[in-house]
Amino acid sequence: MADVVRLSRHNTAVAVIEMADREGRNTFTHALVEGLGHALRRVADDASVKVVVIHGYESIFCAGGTQEELLTLAEHKVTFDAHDFYRCLLDCSVPVIAAMQGHALGGGLVFGLYADLVVLSQESLFAANFMKYGITPGMGATLLLPMKLGVPLAGEMLFSARGYHGGTLRDRGIGMPVVPRADTVATALKLADDLADKSGVALRLLKQAMNHRLLRDLPDVIAREKAMHETSFAQPDVIGRITERFGR
């Protein structure tokens, strides 16, 4: 797990988590999920940490669910909220900055948007591509994307399932920094330095306050998305769509 998820320090108050599951291409493999859980528990146990920066490797931030996971969901053997992994950045007690230096697809995009602050790479692709598999969105996407990206753009991304380069999203007016890929992590670390000189208690309190509506509304949204999955995953073409797209 240490090779897949690496925890380091930028300085005393800023922890850095690198997702680098090259074999799994930063999909939600067991190794990546377990590694992230371990890293975040270490952060939670360290009172000196005030801010976390999370990023991927090379041109990949996070590519979402594995083929095995999607097929398991299609067979109704498990639901996406089984372990609440999808919201671990939200549940981290200190502010999290997601440096999306690479592509973020499907659940990988949603995962990153649970961070408190987000920096995007202008060259990378960002897609809420659930509908390409014939399935409705999950992980709270129907609440989180409109909240973070705005209702019109979120609706377009969710319905069309198209990929958008970071530069295109910047032109569409998202309120997040969009910088060249080579500058993404450095930009996030500079932002983390700005936060790190603040009171740790105040940062934690503000995180809770800023996420109040998300925390309040998320349980009902998750219940609705799971109900939609019961129907959409049961459609006869879904397994074929999943198999075909992963075969490309």
* pLDDT of residue 82 exceeding 90: no
Closest C-alpha to 21, from 41, 40, 42, 35:
35
Q: Considering only 94-103, 111-120, 228-237, which range has the smallest mean pLDDT?
A: 228-237
Decide: 155 and 183 in contact? Cβ < 8 Å. no
* pLDDT of residue 245 exceeding 90: no
* pLDDT of residue 46 exceeding 60: yes
Instruction: Return the CATH superfamily for domain 5-182.
Output: 2-enoyl-CoA Hydratase; Chain A, domain 1 (3.90.226.10)
**Does 212 participate in catalysis according to the annotation?**
no
Domain locations in the chain as residue ranges: 5-182
Instruction: Dump pLDDT digits (tens) for 118-164.
Output: 999 999 999 999 999 999 999 999 999 999 999 999 999 999 999 99
Mean pLDDT, the chain, rounded, equals 93
- Catalytic residue, chosen from 10, 76, 103, 229, is 229
Its pTM stands at 0.94
Amino acid (one-letter) located at 114: Y
Report the distance separating Cα 95 and Cα 181, nearest Å: 22
Instruction: Dump pLDDT digits (tens) for 178-222.
Output: 999 999 999 999 999 999 999 999 999 999 999 999 999 999 999
